[in-house]
Amino acid sequence: MTIYSLYILNKAGGLIYQTDPCPGLNKLSANEYLVLAGTLHGVHAIASRISPTAPTPNTGFFGTGKAVAGNCNTSGLKSLETDAFAMYVFQTVTGLKFVLVTAPGTRAQADAAELVLCRIYECYADYVMKNPYYSLDMPIRCDMFDEKVVEVTQVVV
Amino acid sequence: MSKTIKATADDIWKNKVEKINSELFTLTYGSVVAQLCRDFHNDYVQVNAQLERMGFNIGIRLIEDFLARTGLGRCQSFKETAEVVSKIGFKIFLNVVPLVTNWSGDGKQFSLVLEENPLAEFVELPQDDKASRALWYSNVLVGVLKGALQMVQLEVDVAFVKDVLRGDDATEIRLKLIKVLRDEVPAGED
């Protein structure tokens, strides 16, 4: 799975992190990245409104005894597949969104992508949230986090 | 159900959590509280408030660690929240499992009774009466709970009601659900 790009959005839809681990995408201007993130946030919310009600009951942790891997994105935009790329959206209970843009892949790739996003969430919890000088909801500028993201995204390449 | 929780929590505790020397932890917290008491000239009301504020700032960050490591989704009821806070939250961060008890009739209030309190292991409060009446030594926990629960859209009132350090028979934290901040629940969940 080639990972082209990773976006992290705060709960208000603001872009707080963007990186391109693998070359292959055109670079956008800083402003265009922000607009893209905001649009994604909006489309995600709209998708959750138009998706059919009464989906499979969310038995979650207590029903299955197995962790649902922290992805609370049950009715919003989960993935987008095109001939040129695929996109996966992971949302935490606190409202953060982790978005992965990859080369197009098979069905199984969605699970792999979710796993990568889980790992990135753990790195975020460790290297961003535990950095006392990081202010919440602000753009992430933490070198250690950058390094970890590279590590995680390289492993699956 | 509770057995699964326990097994999961044990597994996370064993395999996914960094551990530190508990004495270092206890002594660090002790010196923070003692320094606060000095800084505020033994104005314990202020010290309590300060500890709570520090805890709050920890809680709003710690929740991400909790969610990332446990992979838990949203609780479906406040009862479930109580179980998760006690059997998973306290377990993985402090390795204690407080007893969930004293539910109010409407199911919106409960108590956490700590049999062991790692924060207060070697502590004796100052001899003056004021300290044993006003200081909640482990008040940082109140802030942590408030902060963490607020980040998952639960507005909760948290307060110590008893502390063995003060001569009470138990250490008890009371939690009261004020409201679920439904407007802030992120879109995309059901």
Please check the confidence at residue A64 and state whether its pLDDT lies above 50: no
Partner residue facing A67 (CB), from B71, B74, B76: B71
Structure tokens of A8?
């992290």
Q: What is the pLDDT of residue A55?
A: 52
Partner residue facing A94 (CB), from B71, B76, B152: B152
Domains of chain A, first to last: 3-55+63-156 (3.30.450.70)
Share of chain A above pLDDT 90, in %: 69
Q: What is the pLDDT of residue A96?
A: 96
Q: What is the pLDDT of residue A60?
A: 47
Indicate the angle between helix axes A143-156 and A108-123, nearest 10 degrees. 160
Partner residue facing A94 (CB), from B8, B63, B188: B63
Binary contact (A76, B188; C-beta < 8 A) = yes
Share of chain B above pLDDT 70, in %: 98
pLDDT digits (tens, 9 = 90+) for B95-125: 999 999 999 999 999 999 999 999 999 999 9
**CA–CA separation, A91 vs A54, rounded Å?**
20
Measured at the CA of A111, the angle between CA A108 and CA A114, to 5 degrees, comes to 150
Q: What is the pLDDT of residue A65?
A: 38
Please check the confidence at residue A67 and state whether its pLDDT lies above 80: no
At B138 the three-state DSSP class reads: coil
pLDDT digits (tens, 9 = 90+) for A79-131: 999 999 999 999 999 999 999 999 998 888 888 999 999 999 999 999 999 99
Q: What is the pLDDT of residue B79?
A: 95
Alpha carbon distance, N-terminus to C-terminus of chain A: 5
Mean pLDDT of B46-67: 97
Query: What rounded mean pLDDT belongs to chain A?
Result: 87
Q: What is the pLDDT of residue B28?
A: 96
Could you tell me which of A123, A157, A104 has the C-alpha nearest to residue B68?
Answer: A123
Binary contact (B189, A73; C-beta < 8 A) = yes
Residues of chain A whose beta carbon is less than 8 angstroms from a beta carbon of chain B are: 11, 44-45, 47-49, 55, 58, 60-62, 65, 67-70, 72-77, 91-96, 118, 121-122, 124-126, 129-130, 136
For A105-139, b/e burial (b = at least 16 CB within 10 A) is eeeebbebbbebbbbbbbbbbbbbbbeeebeeeee
Binary contact (A129, B190; C-beta < 8 A) = no
Chain A residues with CB under 8 Å of B72 CB are: 60-61, 67-68, 70, 93
Binary contact (B67, A126; C-beta < 8 A) = no
Domains of chain B, first to last: 2-180 (3.30.1380.20)
Query: What rounded mean pLDDT belongs to chain B?
Result: 94
Q: For residue B180, report the phi and psi dihedrals to the nearest 5 degrees.
A: -90, 125
Q: Give pTM, 2 decimals.
A: 0.91
Q: What is the pLDDT of residue A156?
A: 65
Question: Which positions ≥6 away from A53 have C-beta within 8 Å?
Answer: none
Nearest CA in chain A to B150: A94
Q: What is the pLDDT of residue A157?
A: 55
pLDDT digits (tens, 9 = 90+) for A17-55: 999 998 888 899 999 999 999 999 999 999 998 887 655
At A99 the three-state DSSP class reads: strand
Q: What is the pLDDT of residue B2?
A: 63
Alpha carbon distance, N-terminus to C-terminus of chain B: 23
Chain B residues with CB under 8 Å of A55 CB are: 190
pLDDT tier, A154 (very low <50, low <70, confident <90, very high otherwise): confident
Q: What is the pLDDT of residue A28?
A: 92
Binary contact (B72, A77; C-beta < 8 A) = no
Residue B73 contacts A, CB cutoff 8 Å: yes
